[in-house]
Structure 1
Amino acid sequence: MQHAPLVVVPLAHKAAYLERYAEADKGWEDRAEARWPAPYWYIDTGMASLLMLLTAVDEGLGACFFGIMPQQPKDFRAEFAIPDEYDPIGAITVGYRADDLPTQSPRVEERRRGSGEVVHRGHWGRHV
């Protein structure tokens, strides 16, 4: 990851989102943040990040999403002249896996739960 040739930093932009949904074709006339049950400007940026990860895998590349620590965005913004209204949600490294890295620990697979434990049908507690 430290030598990945590409690092993508997805940025959420709340103001652009609220402006878009205040346009006439959306039916609202204000930019009221209170009408949103969840901050979709972050959710949509997260979904775009997931699509980047899946695309990298589809192309035979390795990719990893990692968080940006709360104290780091200030330095990031300064280094790349990112305006304050844009929020980095994390970063994605993209590249080819190094040949000399060990394979993934089998413990990862041991901890992974099967779909029967995490998929519920009809109501919570009724597993597939």
Structure 2
Amino acid sequence: MSEFTHVVRSRRMTRAFSTESVDPAVVDSLVDLASRAPSAGKTQGWHLVVLEGEQTKRFWDISLPAAKRASFRWTHLLDAPIIALPLADASAYTARYAEPDKARTGLGVGADAWPVPYWTIDTSMSVMTFLLAAQNAGLGALFFGVFHNEVALRVELGIPDDLELLGAIALGHRLDDESGLGRSSNRERRSPDQIIHRNGW
């Protein structure tokens, strides 16, 4: 089995972390790898707000207030030493495609001209690359949605309104005694034959 195959097959969403910190240089290396994901026009229109150590409480106090934590299943998720928020920037794409080498596409006139939101696609690919890089570095990571109090979180962190928040990434060292998997973990993985439609639908 190749090293890449092993990284892909062994990657799991981690829901229990130790409080051990992660070297900022390691985070930088993960982001460097993530920045190499495909990007339309090499726009690279994504940002990552990174909260470290005690600063992660700013995220949890808004997205999961203390009153709701008693029934929260993944108590050690809150121990993750890093919470990173990936943000997609549509304006970066319209600006890039208004440049001379891309202007003929007509995509520089505004976000509505795009048939699909490549800023979301590209940021998502960067996030996936980040998750694989974390696995390769021996770290655990979890991508999850920010379903509550997004407006308050944006205000707290000064995130501009025009950036699309895709979710959050918890990053850190896995607990050796991590117990429990996600509720969907026992679902059967689809085979290639169930996914592929050769030569048409």
- Work out whether the TM-score is over 0.5: yes
> Contact 2:85–2:166 at 8 Å: present in 1 too?
yes
List per-residue Cα deviations over 1:79-110 (Å, max 9, x = no partner): 111111212111111112112222647x7355
| Number of the residue aligned with 1:99 | 176
Partner residue of 2:86? 10
Alignment partners' CA distance in 1, 2:193 and 2:171: 32
Deviations 1:32-80 (A, max 9, x none): 33331101111111111111111101111111111111x5221111111
1:11 partner SS: strand
Residue 121 (1) aligns with residue 198 (2): yes
| Aligned residue runs from structure 1 range 23-38, under 5 A | 23-28=99-104, 30-38=108-116
Match for residue 12 of structure 2?
A: none
Structure 1: gaps spanning 5 or more residues? none
SS of the residue 1:24 aligns to: coil
Gaps of 5+ in 2: 1-76
What does 1:49-68 correspond to in 2, within 5 Å?
Answer: 49-68=127-146
**Percent of aligned positions with the same letter in both sequences?**
40
Q: In structure 2, the residue corresponding to 1:10 is in which secondary structure? A: strand
Please give the TM-score of this superposition, normalised by the length of structure 1: 0.82
Residue in 1 aligned with 2:32?
A: none
Aligned 8 A contact 2:145 2:167 in 1: yes
Structure 1 distance, partners of 2:110, 2:132, is 33
Match of 1:85 among 155, 162, 186: 162
Mapped contact 2:90–2:111 kept (Cα < 8 A)? no
